[in-house]
Amino acid sequence: MKKNLLIISVIIIFAGAASYAVFAADQMRMTEIFIYSSDTAVSSAVNPAFTLYIGDNLSGITNPVKSLYFVASGVYTGNGTINFKIDSDGATTQTFTLPDVSTTPTPFELIYKDPSGKINPTSAGSYGYTLNVTPSGVTLYGLGIRMKETHKYAPPSCDDGDTANEKIKSTNSFIYSSDTAVSSAVNPAFTLYIGDNLSGITNPVKSLYFVASGVYTGNGTINFKIDSDGATTQTFTLPDVSTTPTPFELIYKDPSGKISPTSAGSYGYTLNVTPSGVTLYGLGIKLSESHRYKPPACGGVPYGDLISAVFDSGVADGAAYNSILWKGTIGTGNVKFQFATADNTGGPWTYYGSSCIGGSGDWFIASVADTPVELLCPAQFNNKQYYRYKIRICSASNCTDVGATSPIVEDVVVSWAP
C-alpha cells in the first residue's frame, strides 16, 4: 500500500526579486566626455556637436545639474581672444582674452562655464548641443576640448539600479609614462576592462579618448595610432619651440572608433606614439572612457539551494520512492530537485536527478507547483530506509539569469511505498 510523507518546509527564497534599501539621500555622479580634438592649427570657428546622456532618475530634485564645464587646452600663438557659446546662444557667451605671444608659442588651458546654465536637464535622457568656439587673433595648435558634468540624482532602492534602465560610467586608465626624453616611437600595450552588462545597448561606448601631456622642444609632429592601424591615425602639428621648452597637452580621439566593445570583458590594444622633429620630456598618457550599461537587478542572484534534513521512511528493509512535488507559487522562475537515499542517517549521500548519473548538472525539473515528478532511478533510490533532497529555487526559468520574482516553496511532498 502506498504511503505519502508530507514534509512541511516553509521555504521562502527570493532569489531574484529581493531589493535592499540603501540611502534615502540624493546621490552625485560625475561623467567626463570628449567634445573636440584638432590635429591641425585652428584660427577660425569650429562648431562640434555633442550629446550629454543622463541615465539616472532626476525626478523630484531641484536643479539636478550641480556642475558642468568645458576644459579647452592646447598651444597658441598670437594676440587675441577665444569665444565660447552653446547653440549660438548669445546668453551663453564667454570670451577669454589671451596675452600676446606672437613669437613664443605658449600652452593654455581654459575652463568655460556657460553663465546662463543652458544645459540643465531635469530628467534622464540624451541631450544634443553644439559648442561654438571662435578664436580671433590667435592660432590654436593641438586644440582639445572635453566636458565634465556632475549631477544629483534620486538613488534606486538598491546600489546600482534596475535592469530596465541604462546608466553611464566614466573610467580613467594609465597608459604610459616616461622619465626620460622621448624622440622616437613608443608603443605601450594596455588593457581596457569593462565589467558591466552592455547587452542590448546600441554603441555602449559613448566617449573614449587619450590625453597626452609633457614638455616639448623642437618643431614637428606627434603621430598617434592604435594597433598600427592607419585608419586610427591622428597627427598633431606643434609650433616651433626649438629654443624654449614648452608644456603641452593633446587629446587624441581615434577617428575610426576602433575601440568599441559591445560586451563585458578585457580588451587588449597597443597605442603607437611617434614624435617627429620634437623631443618630449615627462611624457604621460591616460585613457578616459565613458560607457552606458545595464545595472544588475536589485540585490538579485540567479538561484538559492537548500538541503533538507534526513528523513526516516520507517521501513527497515527500505522503501520504494515514487515521486516528489512542491506546493507554492512559481513566480518567473523554476524549481529543481535532486534526491538521495541511504541505509543509515550518516549516508553517504549521493544526489541524483532525472539522468540518474548524479553530479551538479543532474536535476529533476519541477516547473509546475502541485504536480508530482516521478523519481526515476530505482536502482539508486529504492530499498533504502533514509532519504533527503536538495532543492534549487531559481528566479529565472533557465536558472542562470536573474529573474524578476523567485518561486515561493511552502511544502515538499515525497511519495513512497514500503
63 and 104, same domain (yes or no): yes
Instruction: Calculate the average pLDDT of the chain.
Output: 88
Structural domain harbouring 107: 27-293
Q: What is the predicted pLDDT for the residue at 17?
A: 38
Q: How many domains does the chain have?
A: 2
42: nearest Cα among 87, 86, 73, 70 = 73
351 and 404, same domain (yes or no): yes
Q: What is the predicted pLDDT for the residue at 144?
A: 96
Q: What is the pLDDT of residues 159-193, one digit of tens each?
A: 555 555 668 888 889 999 999 999 999 999 999 98
Which of 247, 277, 293 terminates a domain? The answer is 293
7 and 31, same domain (yes or no): no
238 and 280, same domain (yes or no): yes
Which of 232, 266, 293 terminates a domain? The answer is 293
225 and 306, same domain (yes or no): no
pLDDT confidence bin for 15, thresholds 50/70/90:
very low
Asked which of 54-68, 352-366, 375-389 is least confident by mean pLDDT, the reply is 54-68
- CB-based contact 71:166 (threshold 8 Å): no
Q: What average pLDDT score do residues 196-223 get?
A: 93
Asked which of 85-89, 201-205, 250-254 is least confident by mean pLDDT, the reply is 201-205
324 and 251, same domain (yes or no): no
Q: What average pLDDT score do residues 49-57 get?
A: 90
Q: Which helix (H) or strand (E) holds 378?
A: helix 378-381
292: nearest Cα among 316, 272, 264, 313 = 264
Q: What average pLDDT score do residues 266-291 get?
A: 95
**Any idea what the CATH number is for the domain that residue 353 is in?**
2.60.120
281 and 405, same domain (yes or no): no
Which of 257, 273, 293 terminates a domain? The answer is 293
- CB-based contact 329:401 (threshold 8 Å): no
48 and 153, same domain (yes or no): yes
Alpha carbon separation from 143 to 39, 233, 252 (Å, rounded): 7, 16, 10
Length of the chain: 418
3-state helix, strand, coil in the chain (%, to 5): 0, 60, 40
Q: What is the predicted pLDDT for the residue at 298?
A: 59
Q: What average pLDDT score do residues 375-381 get?
A: 94
> What three-state secondary structure class fits 5?
strand
C-alpha cell belonging to residue 410: 511552502
264 and 304, same domain (yes or no): no
Q: What is the pLDDT of residues 99-131, one digit of tens each?
A: 999 889 999 999 999 999 999 999 988 999 999
289 and 307, same domain (yes or no): no
Would you list the DSSP string of 163-224? TTS-EEEEEEEEEEE-SS-B-S-B--EEEEEE-SB-TT-SS-EEEEEEEEEEEEEEEEEEEE
304 and 211, same domain (yes or no): no
Q: What is the pLDDT of residues 285-314, one digit of tens each?
A: 999 999 988 876 655 667 888 888 889 998
262 and 328, same domain (yes or no): no
